Structures are given as structure tokens and as C-alpha cells.
Amino acid sequence: MTDSPFAFGLGVGTHNQSGEWLEVFFPKPVLAPTAALADTVAALQSDTALSHDHLESLHQSLIAAGATEQAQVAAQFLDSQAPVVAVLLCQDSAPASVPEAYLKLHLLSHRLVKPHGTSLEGLFGILPNVAWTSEGAVDIAELGARQLAARLRGEVLEVSCVDKFPKMTNYVVPTGVRIAHTARVRLGAYLGEGTTIMHEGFVNFNAGSDGPGMIEGRISAGVMVGSGSDLGGSSSTMGTLSGGGNIIISLGRECLLGANAGTGIPLGDRCTIEAGLFVTAGTKVMLLDVEGMPSQSVKARELAGKSDLLFRRNSATGAVECLTNRSAIELNTDLHAHN
């Protein structure tokens, strides 16, 4: 075996009444497992629940392979009422089953890979739409009967979410974060140490924040926010799934999106967009020179990825303007160099 395998996880999940996977929980996913661990599990199928006997023998093999932590997980799973699965991803290819897709989402939220660091091609087609309830994951087709049954017992089946993605915190809470309202962070989000997601914050899958950072706005799918950057309340980052087109939005370090602001271009480091201003790729922006005088008008997309910019709407003229800490002339030179 020349290449190290990509990832491995032992998971416990939920089946619908037809025995199809609805979701899988991997308590200890592994990136780049050892060859010994991989050899141990190579014969298992990544989409089939293990029998109790298979699990017992897997437990022994894992001990023999020196994979102590995984052996421990297997031992705990021996008591499980719910179906158990072992997933080995030899390569980082598109997820081919529900357990594979869930393992990849776990890798992101466990900080084992960064957004865009694993192939999620075809993910929406693989993931079933699930009712996430106070009794766990329920197949949509089975929900009505479950709700009625609960009512007849004098109870209510709480349905918190009807979606292909569950909330991250029911799977993992990474260290050193706060998430004021967990329904706003999907499994597959990447939250670096020191990230605080306030009530109005939101993080999609394959997206996140390096931390530290105060996130009160929306981090759309595919968007990454650098260290020390803050997103004000209701601020918006356009995602590739939500109108941002094929530009991948990101924010560098120490940026600030003001409250109710938004960006349709990637920002470099130390950029600010003032509260209430939405900068899209097509916004005409007047560059101001060091004296604060208008110097040149450019489309915002030409400023994509540049650092030390402050965007504001002139409250007397209504024009969108951009100031920079460095001289506008230097910026002009830079812009022209790319013409």
C-alpha cells in the first residue's frame, strides 16, 4: 500500500424502517489512519451495519493493530441498540453512501480537514431529507404515524429540523467555542478555537471561521473567515449556492463586516465594510486617495482579495467609496498591473 488511506470512522446511526441509513454519529473520526488500522477494516463495507459478531471480531483486530482509541469505541458500541458501521475512505473521492457523507462532515467539524479540504461532490444527492426530532432522526414518510402515536400517549414529538443536514452540536462540540443558538450551525461547519457564534450567526457546511472571532452574521456554504475577523449582526457573505456565482468568498484576518452589511467579493486582511452597506461584485466603487479625494472608479470585483480597505457609502452623496491605509496611488499601480 503506497498511499496512506484518507480517513476512517466507527459510527453508530439510525435506520428507517426499511433499514436505510438516515444518519451516522462518529465519536472519534480519524484522518490518515495507520496502514495497520486500514488493513484491519479493509474487508468491511462502508454502507452496511455490522453484526454483533463482526463488531466483536473487529474489536479484537483493532487491539491487535494497536489502534487503542478505535478499539475502545468498538468496545462501547458492543452495547449499542442502534446499528453500527465502520467506514474506511481509501481516497478522498466523492461520498458514495450516507455513512461516507457523514464521516466527511465529521472530519470538517472535528477540524481534521478545512473547508474545501475534502471532496463533497454529489453530497446533496446522497443525503436523505430527515426529520430531526426529540426521538432522534425519523424518516419523513414515517413521521406522521410517530407524531400521532406520541399525541395518543399525551406527549408531543418535537420536530426541530427537516433537512438533509443536522445541527453540528448533536455530533460534536469542538473545544474553545461558544454557540449561542446551535440550530444555526450545520454539521460540516468548521469552527476554529475561539469562535463565538452569536444568536444571529450562522455557519453552513464546508464553511467556517479560523477563530478567534465574533460571528453574528451568516457564513454561507464554501465561505471561510480568517483569524480575528468579526461578522456583525445579520451581515451576509454570498455563497456559491446562494447567488455568489463561481467566485468563492472568503475573509482574511482581522476583517469586520458591520451589522446588516454584506459582501459578494472575497476580502483580504484588515478590511471593513461599514454597517448597512452591501458590496456586490458589480458595485461601482470610488477609490479615495490619501487626502480622501476621489481618485478612480472601479468595479468591486477588481478589489477582490486586497487588504487594508474600508468600504462605506458616502452619506451625503450616496456613492460607495473605498479608503485604504496605504496610498491610493500604490493601489492604482497594483490594479493596473493586473490590467
Subset of residues 211 to 250 that bind its own copies, contact rule: CB under 8 A: 214, 216, 218, 220, 232-234, 236, 238, 242-243
Shortest Cβ distance from residue 310 to its own copies (Å)?
Answer: 12
**Any contact of residue 322 with its own copies (CB under 8 A)?**
no
**Any contact of residue 127 with its own copies (CB under 8 A)?**
no
**Any contact of residue 180 with its own copies (CB under 8 A)?**
yes
Binding segment for its own copies (CB under 8 A), chosen from 31-39, 95-103, 253-261, 301-309, is: 253-261
How many CA within 13 A on the CB side of residue 227?
A: 1
**Any contact of residue 155 with its own copies (CB under 8 A)?**
yes
**CA 251-253-255 angle, 5° bins:** 65
**Any contact of residue 69 with its own copies (CB under 8 A)?**
no
3-state helix, strand, coil in the chain (%, to 5): 25, 25, 50
Among 61, 70, 147, 206, indicate the residue that binds its own copies (CB under 8 A). Answer: 147
56 is known as an active-site residue: no
Q: Which is nearer to its own copies, 8 or 77 (CB)?
A: 77
Q: Which residues pair with 311 in a beta bridge?
A: 273, 322
Binding segment for its own copies (CB under 8 A), chosen from 34-42, 49-57, 104-112, 258-266, is: 258-266
**Any contact of residue 139 with its own copies (CB under 8 A)?**
no
Where b means 16+ CB within 10 Å and e means fewer, 275-304 reads bebbbebebebbbbbeeeeebbebebbbbb
Where b means 16+ CB within 10 Å and e means fewer, 94-118 reads ebebbbbbbbbbbbbbbbbbebeeb
- x/- mask, its own copies, residues 259-288, rule CB under 8 A, reads xx-x-x---------xxxxx-x--xxxx--
Q: Which is nearer to its own copies, 120 or 177 (CB)?
A: 177
Q: Which is nearer to its own copies, 5 or 29 (CB)?
A: 29
Residues 105-124 that bind its own copies (CB under 8 A): none
Q: DSSP string spanning 3-27?
A: SPP-EEEEEEEEE-TTS-EEEEE-S
Catalytic residue among 23, 216, 274, 321: 216
Shortest Cβ distance from residue 261 to its own copies (Å)?
Answer: 8
Q: DSSP string spanning 143-193?
A: HHHHHHHHHHTT----EEEEESS-BGGGT---TT-EESSGGGBBTTEEE-T
Sign of CA dihedral 186, 181, 133, 242: negative
**Any contact of residue 323 with its own copies (CB under 8 A)?**
no
Shortest Cβ distance from residue 286 to its own copies (Å)?
Answer: 7
Catalytic residues: 216
